[in-house]
Amino acid sequence: MSYKFTAELPDLLEPLREKIEATLQPYIAIEPEFVSETTWTQSKFGGLPYLPKAVEYPKTPEGDYLFLLAQINFAEVPTLENLPNQGILQFYIASDDLYGMSFENMNRQAGFRVLYFPDVSDRSDDLVTDFSFLPEPDDLPMEKGITARLQFTSKIAPISVGDYQFPVIFKPEFAEGEEEDYWEFLEEYEEFFEPGSHQLGGYPYFTQSDPRENIDTEEAYRLLLQIDSTDDDKIMWGDVGIGNFFIKTSALKKLDFTDVLYNWDCG
């Protein structure tokens, strides 16, 4: 499906309208509302997870408990191509100075874990409801003791300036010796198209650089989930950073979450 802008673009962007429109993609914007508690099956950032009794709570290979970063109940989410239309998807991370991320192997689920439950039970008898075994986390992006329920909205946006494909698409439009014009275009683009914040799908945003640029793979990783730092510091990735989880489209279509790339960076 192709998308079009209805609004006018700034003078620096208008000549490349068709190129920009060709990158438009739908995504799901996430709005967190910080509350004292949520239900077991509710979409949330932080808090305690939906966990069937037959499922072992996720740990690191060393036996340390991971902690729930995000839980998405797709019964609450607008339809988006390739995303599930039912089930619960969870993201767990370690409580350490890197929040479970590995620079050497970003898709090794040791310091983080992604779990998917296609069938959801709302019977408390089927679920773990006592999490007193969990230790107090030392270091997480979420402020201690808080959770947020989530609201979802369908939106459309063009490629972000931080995406590794941005210069591939737009730099050839500027002749040799017009580097200054390209950087003016980039600055105007970034100012006009505000980057996404918390979202499912679409284009990622980074405070430093896109790690996918250095990954040699036949099929590209696409954004699955992005969680940003918040102005009130209730979510804070290092020094006002941002966290991303990526997946290949072929794996997402099969609901296979074993190969997920996890990255976060900060300024």
Task: Tell me the pLDDT tens digit for each residue of 2-56.
Answer: 788 888 999 999 999 999 999 999 999 999 999 988 999 999 999 999 999 999 9
pLDDT, tens digit (0-9, with 9 covering 90-100), for 182-218: 999 999 999 999 888 999 999 999 999 999 998 888 8
pLDDT for 44: 98
Per-residue pLDDT at 195: 82
What's the distance, CA 7 to chain centroid? 28
Q: Does 14-265 carry CATH code 3.30.930.10?
A: no
Q: With a cut of 70, say whether residue 1 has pLDDT above it.
A: no
- In the chain, where are the structural domains located? 14-265
Whether the pLDDT of residue 226 is over 90: the answer is yes
Contacts 24+ apart (CB under 8 A), 106-109: 106/211, 106/261, 106/262, 106/263, 107/259, 107/260, 107/261, 107/262, 109/258, 109/260
